[in-house]
Amino acid sequence: MVMPTNFLQSINSPDDLKRLRVEDLENVSRELRQFIIDVVSNNPGHFGASLGVVELTVALHYIFNTPNDRIIWDVGHQAYGHKILTGRREIFHTNRKYKGISGFPKRSESEYDSFGTGHSATSISAGLGMAVASSLKGENRHTVAIIGDGSMTGGLAFEGLNHGGTQKSNLLVILNDNNMAIDPNVGALKEYLLDITTSQTYNKLKSDIWNLLGKMNRLGTRSMVQKLENALKSALLKQSNLFESLGFRYFGPVDGHDVVYLTQILNDLKNIPGPKLLHCVTVKGKGFTPAEENQTAWHAPGIFDKDTGERIVLKSDKPSPPRFQDVFGHTMVELAKQNEKIVGITPAMPSGCSMNIMMETMPDRTFDVGIAEQHAVTFAAGLAAEGLVPFCNIYSSFMQRAYDQVIHDVVLQNLNVVFCLDRGGLVGEDGATHHGVFDIAYMRTIPNVTICSPLNEEELRNLMYTAQLPNMGPWSIRYPRGNGSMVDWQTPMKQVEVGTGRILSEGTDIAILSFGPLGIIASQAVEKLKTKGISAAHYDMRFVKPIDTNILTQVGKRFNTIITIEDGAIQGGFGSAVLEWLNDNGYQTRVIRMGIPDRFIEHGTPQELYRECSIDAESIYKTARSIVAPKMIGKVV
């Protein structure tokens, strides 16, 4: 029987939720889950993770006094229900859209978003800081940090646990255990959690002990029963509990989809002082069968039919170019067949970066290390120190987490590690936390690194081929999210001379120097300039470091003005490299740098964001025309 749908429409804040009876929460959860399905089916976003924590979200806001009590969502993929229950239901359809609400928790968006998140493994450390701050200020509030088992592989999570266990702060960590990140979880922690959740004897005794705790709490004997419980854990699991060895009182595992039971547990935990961890077992994609059955594909499925589960892919009569990540994946297999020293590494993103293509054919030479970018880099360094050639694929914004390892463990030792930085540049709807706009600048300051970016798919293959040749040292190859520009891209690979660019079109009025795939957009501007009688020379620089000094010498002598184009931060990036070299070598050429301005860019489609940052074809055209037009006496421009 279909229940009437009316609870959710009356909830505009957690205060409204608290007015309901606890037995009404199952219906609220059902309506909330359906609302997420309805909206995300038409406005794509992170789907499966939010469905998996619907009951937990409802229970948290029902029991805790938010926003005075702090709730911190790790990563934020699972925060859609939270946003809907905290006053954003009516605008949830703008989620991830240009000028709409963010797809992640954001402090400036709502007082209920206690901490801004977008990268993993941060919630425990942030929550501990907030809990300690409350204690120092004499405030009476609870702090809850929700973290997925996938995020628990991040070193920062263990650093937070290690410190948190020594504090007396009122911190509750909720481990959302669904055995998934984006792809299935890997590693020893996964097996440890599986042992806990599948021990039938332990779980039965755990349930009995929990009931005893509740009954005997009035007699002040909770401490005694807790000791008995800890002894049983150690005996039944044949090892001490990891979390309790770090100083956290462990509770669970519990059914993360029993909303009434969750309210009871959370209410009890509110009265237990000190650091605590509640282990909730959930199903990613819960309540939508296709998402439950194929959790990786339904992490962020795009547009889909909410009734049939059919994912809708817009098709064109014309063949489309491949995604850069797929070119990387297929090229890895080709190169690895030719060079037995090549291995592949990814931190929990095999499908996201297409390393799964090599995993399927060469599983013994590919390594998913979990959400652990620092480890991925130093692991790659160890492989390279023994003569292998690791291709370490990490999203540009995630590589920021391993900057010290890049410098100290790879580059200082001049090891031949090839960093393939996927999602370089503006990524679109994921917004400021995921834009990969800083890697050009942060890599360029490190000695000994070859930094390059391909114009198209063919160049990506050639750069990958060149990077794995003997004695190449550390490389950074960056490329964007999304499709390239070549349909026939599987061309024979050839070596590229390091530090060389190439001229794409001759010109006499102005020089345009582009770095990476934005060169395709710049070429469109060059063609439009021709229709106005403006002759622009266009160079694809390919390398930022070492930069092509022959080209810079030519343009420095021939042109009064140069425009540089990059899909990266304008401060310290490609344009800065050009400007520095010209200045250091005595050229007076004016340099107009076009790139990502010195501010954080929010979310929207890539096209909308390119336009906002003035690096779309029209902006490049207008900039070049405004410079040249005053000099074009006698010409129609």
- Residue 248 pLDDT greater than 70, yes or no: yes
Find the mean pLDDT for residues 293-304: 85
8 Å CB contact between 577 and 565: no
Task: Show the tokens assigned to 237.
Answer: 């699991």
8 Å CB contact between 598 and 490: no
pLDDT digits (tens, 9 = 90+) for 481-523: 999 999 999 999 999 999 999 999 999 999 999 999 999 999 9
Comparing 233 with 15, which gets the higher pLDDT?
Answer: 15
d(CA 16, CA 12): 6
Contacts of 166 (CB under 8 A, 6+ apart): 247
Find the mean pLDDT for residues 207-231: 51
| Residue 424 per-residue DSSP state | B
Active-site residue identified among 31, 55, 373, 457: 373
8 Å CB contact between 613 and 596: yes
Task: Show the tokens assigned to 293.
Answer: 């059955």
Comparing 322 with 314, which gets the higher pLDDT?
Answer: 322
Residues 306-344: b if buried by 16+ CB within 10 A, e if exposed? eeebebeeeeeeeeebbbbbbbbbbbbbebbeeeebbbb
Report in angstroms the alpha-carbon separations of 96 from 119, 432, 583. 16, 11, 42
Tokens 């999602």 belong to which residue?
Answer: 423
* Phi and psi, residue 599, nearest 5°: -160, 165
Q: Please, how many CA atoms are within 13 Å of residue 255, restricted to the half-sphere of its CB?
A: 8
Gyration radius (Cα) of the chain, Å: 27
- Residue 170 pLDDT greater than 70, yes or no: yes
Tokens 């007699």 belong to which residue?
Answer: 219
The pLDDT score that the predictor gives to residue 216 is 52
* Phi and psi, residue 221, nearest 5°: -105, 15
Q: Active site includes 365?
A: no
- Residue 78 pLDDT greater than 70, yes or no: yes
| Residue 453 per-residue DSSP state | -
d(CA 95, CA 78): 13
- Residue 181 pLDDT greater than 70, yes or no: no
Q: How confident is the model at residue 191 (pLDDT cuts 50, 70, 90)?
A: low
The pLDDT score that the predictor gives to residue 310 is 87
Q: Can you say whether the dihedral through the CA atoms of 19, 22, 28, 33 is positive or negative?
A: positive
Residue type (1 letter), 577 = A
Q: Active site includes 96?
A: no
Report in angstroms the alpha-carbon separations of 183 from 48, 118, 281, 461, 618. 12, 17, 17, 26, 39
- Residue 456 pLDDT greater than 80, yes or no: yes
Q: How confident is the model at residue 218 (pLDDT cuts 50, 70, 90)?
A: very low
Task: Show the tokens assigned to 499.
Answer: 């530090």
The pLDDT score that the predictor gives to residue 523 is 98
User: Which one of 112-121, 152-161, 228-237, 324-333 scores highest in mean pLDDT?
Assistant: 324-333
Q: How confident is the model at residue 235 (pLDDT cuts 50, 70, 90)?
A: very low
Find the mean pLDDT for residues 469-483: 96
The pLDDT score that the predictor gives to residue 153 is 87
Contacts of 269 (CB under 8 A, 6+ apart): 172, 251, 276, 278
Residue 134: Cβ within 10 Å count:
20
What share of the chain in percent tops pLDDT 90?
Answer: 76
Active-site residue identified among 401, 444, 528, 625: 401
pLDDT digits (tens, 9 = 90+) for 348-372: 999 999 999 999 999 999 999 999 9
- Residue 114 pLDDT greater than 60, yes or no: yes
What's the chain's average pLDDT? 90
Active-site residue identified among 206, 276, 284, 444: 284
User: Which one of 16-20, 136-140, 243-247 scores highest in mean pLDDT?
Assistant: 16-20
Going across the sheet that includes 276-281, the strands are 70-73, 143-148, 171-177, 276-281, 249-255
Q: Active site includes 373?
A: yes
DSSP string, 375-423: HHHHHHHHHHHTT-EEEEEEEHHHHGGGHHHIIIIIITTT---EEEEET
The SS3 call for residue 64 is coil
8 Å CB contact between 429 and 94: no
Q: Please, how many CA atoms are within 13 Å of residue 496, restricted to the half-sphere of its CB?
A: 29
